[in-house]
Structure 1
Amino acid sequence: MSNTRSRSTPRQMHLALYLSEVGSQLGAWRHPLAGNTAPLDWRFYKDMAQKAERACLDMIFLADKLSVDDVYGGDFAASVSSRALPQHAEPLSVMASLVGATSQIGLAATVSATYSQPYTTARMLATIDHLSGGRVGWNVVTSVSDGEARNYGQAEHLGHDPRYDKAQEFVALVKKLWDSWEDNWLIRDQASGIYGDASKVHRVDHNGAWFKVRGPLNVPRPPQGHPVQIQAGVSSNFERTALEQAEVIFAVQPTLEKARDFYARFKQQLETVGRSANSLKVLPGIVPIVGHTRQDALDLQRELNEKLLPQAALSFMSASMNHDLAQYELHAPVPDIAARITGSKGRFQAVLKKAQDEKLTLAQLGVWYAQSLSFFAPLGTAEEVAEQLITWFEARACDGFVVLPAIMPLGANDFLEKVVPLLQQRGAFRKAYPGTTLRDTLGLQIPPNQFAAAAPEEAPLAI
């Protein structure tokens, strides 16, 4: 099922909840109001998913990392001792576990194109999409650190250009595997003994620079055709691949002006590659702090910031940059290391420029970054936060937001129970799901099957 909104339907924002046990502010777990969720407690994930579904959010979103951060100081001590997100649940497993606990909300999981196999990825995502009735999204990343590389038998992480080249081939191959079954393959003729039409099932016979796969997939095409593709990043390579492939962008845009410029430029570029502006949704991340009064929100922000340890952020940043920040003096100005970043380049080049412009010490940069991970951080009463989001949305700076609560579960509960109803009252956000699939919710079309038009006419064979 594909949902196409009429031109008279008012534009409404899309919202995703970034699911994290500890919150996005790297010291929030130390605050008295923080939850005390045991690692990988399924009841936490179920509760958050069901609350997000009651609020009609588009999807829940789970990030991933394939190692415990161990770049800072050449060890994982700072990451584990400061709880700088040292554990990452395997996201496809979590999303599969939530299929039966939810019925309408999208389930988005992160997949590394650098360290995953296309056949296994295609099979797992297709399976979850079938089981969920078409509610799966996949966030394709290239991973960032040497720590991850060493867990997969490599001495170091691939360079920036090669890993994006590999990711492009990976995504194209996964989609080709999904398309290896045409939608009308099933016959189920008991009298003749023919179950399926073998002419509607195709080998992919892929022999590329990075992968060699014969196919076909052993799972029929997913209900959405392809699960919704999400991409996150800010580099030029990211933009190139996102323009060609992505359907949702998880963006890092800290200010309204930058977000509006990025949105206008990206939507215009879509048309130059033959895609409609509505075929891709731009969702910047936000780290909201909501209070009963504005002063309450300011007090909570101050209290959270007082709990921050520079090493927590510097450990996280080192792994994301793939560059050890422990080698520099903590209270000295941040050195010019932009050219040495081999991990998340586009994002941290902007972070380092801020440090240079404002003459921050490494410790000061760490504390600043740990507050919001360089995302937009709306603050105030529920009414004030809702107004800020509507301002961004109406200014055409985004199509909605990925919500990364600063403190869990308090931040998620405040947003879902206080901010979302105000957005709904203003007509900026839906009050009910428009269909049954994630594509329906996002207003995205089912992609055509690349084999269907070219498939030769053959007599049906038994499967």
Structure 2
Amino acid sequence: MSDTERDDKMILGALLSPTSAHIAGWRHDGALTNVDVTFPELVKVVKSAEQAKLDFVFIADELSMPAGEAETLSRDPLVYRFEPLTLVAALAVASKNIGLVVTQSTTYNEPYHIARKLASIDQLSGGRLGWNLVTSYVPEEAKNFSRSEHLASVDRYERAEEFLQVAQGLWDSWDDDAFDGGDETGRYFDPRKMHRLDHEGTHFSVRGPLNVRRPVQGAPVQVQAGSSEAGRELAAKYAEITFTAQNSLDAALAFTNDIKTRAARHGRSASSVRVIAGVQPIIGATMEEAQAKYREMQSLIHPEVGLTRLSQLLDYDVTQLPLDAPLPDDLPETENYKSRRALIIETGRRENLTLRELYQKVVSSYGHRVVIGTPQSVADELADWFIAGAVDGYILSPAYLPDGLHDFIRTVVPELRSRGLLRAEYEGATFRENLGLARPERGAYATS
């Protein structure tokens, strides 16, 4: 393979959830699960990623158990998740350089709460926090917050945009040097450097100011995952990293070009938003060994769990349909999982998959690309998309932890680094600096 044609480095993050990458990963010998993992074991994973100079670890979240009867749920590991802010606050003091991306919903939170908590953790971590903004797409979440169903998708995204604008305004409550006064003045802060928000909008009325000083980074790195029309627009306006699930080079190129074109329409530079694709690496000393590992993982998926999870992602019950039949032709439209659902349906029909084949393909990696091979061939595949400009990097979703990530770090990271695609050391002190993103000046987010 020739040297990279890009002068930047590949961004790499890692999903930090023992049981949310491969649905049956927890059944693998030696795998950690959310239930039995200890905090020191999670710290070891994070420090391993940090020693490899990865950009960040990512904590996913949903505000409910998956849908299903108790018997089915008893086979599904996602009934148990750590609350992400609790976990990331602990990890902030157990790590030094790596970015920490935490998921928080704009549908079932208030902007003052989120702005305050994220500003606090950004301070405590020395400026290493990222916020993965989600609008809560899992139908079961609504029932935990006094609603029978979610707001419509358009309303969730409208609320999300105003929510983010309020949070950004709250982070600008203070000048950076507002608290630099001394004992001689008798003042704790300079009153000229405090700024009330006084926001009155469609969804929120927030006076401010925030009772936490301005984040070290000016604002946490803004992250978003969503490929629907509304999701793309929100990402183009505000995201600094956007996650996507893509399974072909052409589709990834089209998505990245679309996001960066939209960003330019909103007055942003193409480099201000980075597109990161999900990938599940399965690595062996030989291709045969890697394929055998993958077959072993797939054999651990229980059909009942596979069909139930596929039903959830389709927002359509397929549990009573024949396993060896294809997807029905007349799937109804839905307000949930729109972009991921479209990807699953397109994949099933393009590859003429049975329901059994489709759930094995989809729920093992949640629709993300699976790359199977030797360290060299996996590096080849990741490099090809990066060099072509289809992605700016990847979020790694190992089939199980810790070995799935350790194998990648031990074998593929040196291969990518030898090609000049990965950093050798962290360049800066903050997550934003290591991504090459500018620190926003106070007032940069003003909308009026």
TM tier relative to shorter chain: over 0.9
Mapped pair 1:64 → 2:57: no
Change (3 A) 1:124 1:430: same
The residue that corresponds to 1:19 in the other structure is: 16
- Alignment identity in percent? 39
Distance 1:208 1:47 in 2: 44
5 Å-filtered alignment, 1:260-409, equals 260-326=253-319, 328-336=321-329, 338-409=331-402
1:30: how far off?
2.2
The residue that corresponds to 1:222 in the other structure is: 215
Q: Structure 2: which 5+ runs fail to align?
A: none
The residue that corresponds to 1:163 in the other structure is: 156
**Is the contact between residue 246 and residue 252 of structure 2 (CA under 8 Å) also seen in structure 1?**
yes
The residue that corresponds to 2:80 in the other structure is: 87
Change (3 A) 1:378 1:100: same
3-state DSSP of counterpart to 2:195: coil
**Is the contact between residue 17 and residue 34 of structure 2 (CA under 8 Å) also seen in structure 1?**
no
5 Å-filtered alignment, 1:4-15, equals 10-15=7-12
Distance 2:283 2:305 in 1: 24
The residue that corresponds to 1:246 in the other structure is: 239
**Is the contact between residue 28 and residue 297 of structure 2 (CA under 8 Å) also seen in structure 1?**
yes
3-state DSSP of counterpart to 2:369: coil
| One-letter amino acid matched to 1:109 | V
Mapped pair 1:32 → 2:29: yes
The residue that corresponds to 1:150 in the other structure is: 143
Mapped pair 1:126 → 2:123: no
Distance 2:101 2:331 in 1: 32
The residue that corresponds to 1:135 in the other structure is: 128
3-state DSSP of counterpart to 1:326: coil
The residue that corresponds to 1:98 in the other structure is: 91
Measured against aligned partners, the alpha-carbon deviations of 1:372-417 in whole angstroms (never above 9, x if no partner) come to 2221111111111111111111111111100000122221110111
Distance 2:445 2:230 in 1: 31
Q: TM-score, normalised to structure 2's length?
A: 0.94
**Is the contact between residue 43 and residue 94 of structure 2 (CA under 8 Å) also seen in structure 1?**
yes
The residue that corresponds to 2:418 in the other structure is: 425
Q: Which moved more, 1:18-27 or 1:432-441?
A: 18-27
Distance 2:196 2:289 in 1: 60
3-state DSSP of counterpart to 1:449: coil
The residue that corresponds to 2:50 in the other structure is: 53
Change (3 A) 1:348 1:84: farther
1:289: how far off?
0.3
**Is the contact between residue 168 and residue 445 of structure 2 (CA under 8 Å) also seen in structure 1?**
no
| One-letter amino acid matched to 2:24 | G
1:359: how far off?
4.1
| One-letter amino acid matched to 1:350 | L
Distance 1:228 1:118 in 2: 16
1:160: how far off?
1.1
Measured against aligned partners, the alpha-carbon deviations of 1:247-277 in whole angstroms (never above 9, x if no partner) come to 0011111111211222223223322221111
**Is the contact between residue 16 and residue 57 of structure 2 (CA under 8 Å) also seen in structure 1?**
yes
Say what the alpha-carbon RMSD is for the aligned residues.
2.2
Tell which has more relative contact order, 1 or 2 (C-alpha 8 A, sep 6+): 1
**Is the contact between residue 371 and residue 378 of structure 2 (CA under 8 Å) also seen in structure 1?**
yes
Q: Which moved more, 1:422-431 or 1:205-214?
A: 205-214
**Is the contact between residue 182 and residue 451 of structure 1 (CA under 8 Å) also seen in structure 2?**
no
1:201: how far off?
1.1
5 Å-filtered alignment, 1:169-188, equals 169-188=162-181
1:107: how far off?
0.6
1:454: how far off?
12
**Is the contact between residue 11 and residue 55 of structure 2 (CA under 8 Å) also seen in structure 1?**
yes
Distance 2:21 2:417 in 1: 25
Q: TM-score, normalised to structure 1's length?
A: 0.91
Change (3 A) 1:364 1:230: same
Q: How many residues align?
A: 444
3-state DSSP of counterpart to 1:16: strand
3-state DSSP of counterpart to 2:154: helix
Measured against aligned partners, the alpha-carbon deviations of 1:424-457 in whole angstroms (never above 9, x if no partner) come to 11110001000000001111011121289999xx
**Is the contact between residue 15 and residue 21 of structure 2 (CA under 8 Å) also seen in structure 1?**
no
| Greater than 6 Å deviation, 4+ residue runs | 451-455
1:27: how far off?
1.8
Distance 2:34 2:143 in 1: 30
Distance 2:129 2:151 in 1: 28
1:420: how far off?
0.8
Distance 1:150 1:454 in 2: 34
**Is the contact between residue 179 and residue 190 of structure 2 (CA under 8 Å) also seen in structure 1?**
yes
Change (3 A) 1:187 1:369: closer
| One-letter amino acid matched to 1:10 | D
The residue that corresponds to 2:202 in the other structure is: 209
3-state DSSP of counterpart to 1:193: coil
1:321: how far off?
4.4
Distance 1:439 1:48 in 2: 22
Distance 1:271 1:356 in 2: 34
